[in-house]
């Protein structure tokens, strides 16, 4: 299941396993070792429109041959979430394109993210709001929960 | 600094052409649109052609405080990337607002210490190989 902690500040996350900057964390902790899996290739193709040639090489239609460090923050964070489910990642590094992939990963395992904006999920889904330890299964319920913790508006 | 600033940045692979209309431009969109590529071009700019009347300064975790504190030139535009959480702090906002300069920040967080009236939220849209900043719906 997908578990979300809402907080306005990227620092306000009360979990020891929290990674606030997934993009550089991917670069510095060998994130490239995980990009050759079937799901990872699929996500990189769908979001970055790029082909994984090897764990050290990506073919981008715009940038040409690039290292994995040049992947988007959205894809890097998704790869980490799929491969480090024990951690909680700052999902503000990802745009709305990540939403269906998060739900797909969450079908197989429990994953946790921090959100500081209202990511658009499409029903059907079941999401646990960690702030209140409640489960929401409609976009309206999700929205009400998010607004409750993101008062500055996003 | 006041008014609009036009910026053109071009490399062999990428071309950005945009106008900043407010002191703070927040780039937040769906992902994989070239926001961090823009920041990277400004950080490693050998071979990058830049055309603008201002100085473009990519800030980092270690340089931002000095860059803002000792800023003497109002015609500077600062850039921060998505993982630069320092740009969301009150200290950063206070120092930045004293400079009179412009700021382009890549973030999906709400920069609540910066004045909303000075802020424009944009997305990067690419058409025919040229990436522009498009104002997002309020």
Percentage, residues of chain A above pLDDT 70: 98
Distance of alpha carbon B4 from alpha carbon B19, whole angstroms: 6
Alpha-carbon distances of B13 from A45, A51, B34, B75, rounded to whole Å? 19, 17, 11, 28
pLDDT of A153: 47
Interchain pair A64, B13: CB under 8 A = yes
Distance of alpha carbon B132 from alpha carbon B134, whole angstroms: 6
Residue A27 has pLDDT above 70, yes or no: yes
Residue A47 has pLDDT above 50, yes or no: yes
pLDDT of B138: 57
pLDDT of B73: 84
Is some CB atom of chain A closer than 8 A to the CB atom of B137?
no
Best mutation target among B11, B109, B113, B121 (most A Cβ atoms within 10 Å) is B109
| DSSP track, B65-131 | HHHHHT---SSEEEEE-TT-GGGGSHHHHHHHHHHT-EEEEE-SS--TTS-GGGEEEEEEEEETTEE
Residue B31 has pLDDT above 90, yes or no: no
Q: What is the pLDDT of residues B49-105, one digit of tens each?
A: 999 999 999 999 999 999 999 998 889 999 999 999 999 999 999 999 999 999 999
Distance of alpha carbon A19 from alpha carbon A144, whole angstroms: 26
Residue-range definition of the domain harbouring residue B96: 5-135
Interchain pair B36, A73: CB under 8 A = yes
pLDDT of B137: 67
How close does chain A come to B109, measured CA to CA in Å?
A: 6
- The total of structural domains in chain B comes to 1
Query: What is the ipTM for the molecules in this complex?
Result: 0.87
Q: Is A58 helix (H, G, I), strand (E, B) or coil?
A: strand
Taking CA atoms, what residue in A is nearest to B121?
A154
Taking CA atoms, what residue in B is nearest to A60?
B13
Q: What is the pLDDT of residues A71-105, one digit of tens each?
A: 999 999 999 999 999 999 999 999 999 999 999 99
Q: What is the CATH number of the domain that holds B51?
A: 3.40.50
Of B31, B81, B85, the CB nearest to A98: B31
Size of interface A-B (CB pairs under 8 A): 78
Distance of alpha carbon A120 from alpha carbon A81, whole angstroms: 18
Interchain pair A73, B31: CB under 8 A = yes
């Amino acid at each position: 299941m997908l578990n979300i902690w809402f907080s306005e500040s990227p620092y306000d996350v009360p979990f020891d396993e929290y990674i606030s900057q997934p993009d550089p964390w991917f670069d510095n902790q060998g994130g490239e070792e995980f990009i050759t899996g079937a799901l990872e290739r699929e996500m990189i193709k769908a979001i970055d429109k790029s082909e994984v040639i090897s764990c050290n090489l990506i073919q981008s239609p715009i940038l040409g041959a690039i290292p994995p460090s040049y992947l988007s923050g959205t894809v890097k964070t998704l790869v980490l979430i799929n491969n480090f489910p024990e951690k909680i990642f700052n999902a503000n590094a990802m745009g709305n394109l990540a939403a269906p992939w998060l739900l797909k990963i969450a079908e197989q395992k429990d994953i946790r993210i921090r959100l500081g904006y209202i990511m658009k999920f499409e029903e059907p889904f079941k999401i646990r709001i960690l702030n209140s330890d409640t489960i929401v299964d409609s976009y309206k319920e999700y929205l009400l929960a998010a607004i409750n913790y993101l008062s500055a508006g996003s | 600094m006041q008014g609009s600033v036009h910026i053109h940045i071009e490399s062999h692979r990428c071309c950005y052409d945009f106008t900043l209309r407010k002191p703070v431009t927040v780039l937040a969109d769906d992902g994989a649109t070239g926001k961090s590529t823009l920041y990277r071009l400004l950080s490693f700019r050998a071979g990058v052609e830049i055309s603008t009347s201002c100085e473009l300064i990519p800030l980092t975790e270690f340089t931002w405080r000095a860059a803002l504190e000792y800023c003497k030139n109002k015609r500077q535009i600062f850039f921060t990337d998505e993982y630069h959480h320092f740009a969301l702090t009150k200290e950063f906002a206070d120092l930045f607002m004293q400079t009179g300069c412009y700021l382009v920040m890549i973030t999906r967080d709400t920069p609540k210490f910066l004045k909303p009236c000075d802020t424009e939220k944009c997305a990067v849209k690419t058409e025919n190989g040229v990436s522009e900043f498009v104002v997002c719906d309020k």
